[in-house]
């Protein structure tokens, strides 16, 4: 019988990755009672040597989408919208027309295109001049045609979640960020310093990095805004401080402690964010119009590990990688954040999570 991995072995394993596969790293595993292991190591900024600590923030990128989905479901629970409403009731979807629904956008079955989004970020010093609505309109004009019939197949799309963010703002009567902070994060006891819709303190934030000897670094001028390419520090190339063009598809920042608080509400006996029926809906597998199962719920992707189903969302861009998972049958959740573009979050979680399953 194979011996089970121990939490101490996980910490030692993560120690070996720090400095070699990523400058800094955070990892939390938890059950309904709280953390089982909280790990933090390495450097937040290889140039200055500033250490990564528990409060250090990272860009979450697409891991944000699951929180966006939670905001949509919260509005649905309050009957402020319906999942099968047309998105055109709440925002202008451009040439996509009125045929795509909120449910289809949540599940990536709307047929909305997905151009490479790595340039959908702007330097932090330009944020006061950035106009989000104009940014969305430009993206819609550049990508005017659906890729498939709405509801017919699974096609991942960042644009789809950008539209969902606009819908949340319209229904809530406030900015998307304000709604998420006040109605999703704060009810779970999550403070801005732990998860935020912006970067509350750049001096406590990790610098994104590219591996010097990597394809991403080789083609960085094609992938990234040249203004975001910074200096070298040993085996790392710095990405300058930046902000994602729209929070809803990838703009949350935070630390593992903060995201673990969001995950805790998926595990506790009675959720704080919403009713139990809505939480069950959050994890319900979805289908195409033909009844074919897709690897998605209303906000989570579905994976398996050793025959056990889990729900996950991965994020990556601008020199960061992240992933969170919920193993509902085991009552376990995990989250990992790294400030290296090529950090192998899937493989690392596959091994690290084995200590708790």
Tell me what pLDDT residue 120 has.
86
Q: Is the pLDDT of residue 2 over 70?
A: no
pLDDT tier at 215, thresholds 50, 70, 90: confident
Tell me what pLDDT residue 1 has.
44
Tell me what pLDDT residue 227 has.
86
Asked if residues 175 and 169 have their Cβ atoms less than 8 Å apart, the reply is: yes
Q: What angle do CA 13, 18, 24 make, to 5 degrees?
A: 125
The two structure tokens encoding residue 290: 């033909």
Least confident interval from 97-111, 226-240, 323-337? 226-240
Span 247-266, average pLDDT: 98
What would the pLDDT profile of 9-57 be if each residue is shown by its tens digit?
A: 999 999 999 999 999 999 999 999 999 999 999 999 999 999 999 999 9
Q: What is the DSSP letter of 352?
A: H
Select from 12, 16, 11 the least CA-distant residue to 27: 11
Nearest-angstrom CA–CA distance, 160 and 169: 15
Tell me what pLDDT residue 220 has.
73
pLDDT tier at 128, thresholds 50, 70, 90: confident
Nearest-angstrom CA–CA distance, 237 and 23: 11
Tell me what pLDDT residue 149 has.
96
The two structure tokens encoding residue 253: 């920042």
Tokens 């996509």 belong to 96
The two structure tokens encoding residue 287: 């289908």
**7-356 architecture in CATH?**
3-Layer(aba) Sandwich (3.40)
Q: What is the DSSP letter of 287?
A: B
* Domain chopping of the chain, boundaries: 7-356
C-alpha distance from residue 62 to each of 95, 202, 207 (Å): 25, 20, 17
Span 263-270, average pLDDT: 98
The model carries a pTM of: 0.95
Q: Is the pLDDT of residue 182 over 60?
A: yes
What would the pLDDT profile of 56-82 be if each residue is shown by its tens digit?
A: 999 999 999 999 999 999 999 999 999
The two structure tokens encoding residue 194: 């732990």
What integer best gives the mean pLDDT of the chain?
Answer: 94
Tell me what pLDDT residue 119 has.
79
If 0-12 CB within 10 Å is exposed, 13-18 middle and 19+ buried, where does residue 31 land?
A: middle
Q: Is the pLDDT of residue 116 over 90?
A: no
C-alpha distance from residue 134 to each of 114, 300, 322, 326 (Å): 18, 29, 28, 36
What would the pLDDT profile of 156-180 be if each residue is shown by its tens digit?
A: 999 999 999 999 999 999 999 999 9
Tell me what pLDDT residue 20 has.
95
Backbone angles phi, psi at 131, to 5 degrees: -110, 110
Give me the residues paired with residue 313 across strands.
324
If 0-12 CB within 10 Å is exposed, 13-18 middle and 19+ buried, where does residue 77 land?
A: middle
Tell me what pLDDT residue 272 has.
98
Tell me what pLDDT residue 15 has.
97
Span 122-140, average pLDDT: 86
């Amino acid at each position: 019988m194979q011996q089970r991995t121990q939490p101490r072995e996980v910490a030692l394993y993560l120690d070996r990755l720090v400095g070699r596969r990523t400058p800094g790293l955070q990892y939390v595993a938890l059950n309904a009672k709280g953390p089982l292991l909280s790990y933090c190591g390495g450097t937040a900024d290889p140039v200055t040597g500033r250490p990564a600590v528990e409060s250090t923030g990272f860009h979450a990128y697409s891991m944000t989408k699951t929180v966006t989905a939670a905001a949509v479901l919260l509005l649905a629970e309050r009957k402020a919208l319906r999942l099968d409403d047309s998105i055109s009731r709440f925002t202008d979807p451009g040439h996509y027309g009125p045929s795509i629904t909120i449910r289809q956008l949540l599940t990536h079955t709307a047929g909305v295109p997905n151009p490479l989004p790595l340039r959908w970020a702007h330097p932090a010093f330009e944020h006061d001049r950035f106009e989000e609505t104009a940014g969305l309109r430009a993206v819609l004009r550049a990508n005017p045609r659906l890729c498939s019939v709405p509801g017919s197949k699974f096609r991942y799309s960042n644009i789809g979640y950008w539209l969902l963010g606009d819908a949340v703002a319209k229904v809530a009567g406030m900015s998307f960020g304000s709604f998420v902070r006040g109605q999703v994060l704060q009810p779970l006891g999550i403070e801005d310093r732990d998860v935020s819709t912006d970067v509350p303190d750049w001096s406590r934030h990790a610098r994104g990095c590219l591996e010097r000897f990597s394809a991403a670094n080789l083609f960085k001028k094609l992938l990234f805004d040249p203004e975001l390419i910074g200096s070298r520090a040993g085996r790392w190339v710095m990405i300058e401080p930046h902000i994602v063009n729209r929070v809803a598809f990838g703009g949350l920042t935070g630390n593992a402690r903060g995201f673990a608080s969001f995950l805790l509400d998926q595990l506790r006996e009675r959720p704080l964010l919403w009713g139990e029926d809505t939480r069950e809906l959050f994890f319900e597998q979805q289908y195409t119009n033909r009844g074919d199962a897709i690897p998605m719920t209303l906000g989570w992707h579905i994976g398996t590990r050793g025959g056990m189903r889990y729900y996950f969302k991965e994020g990556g861009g601008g020199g960061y990688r992240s992933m969170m998972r919920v193993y509902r049958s085991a009552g376990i959740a995990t989250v990992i954040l790294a400030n290296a573009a090529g950090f192998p979050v899937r493989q690392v979680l596959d091994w690290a999570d084995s200590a708790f399953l």
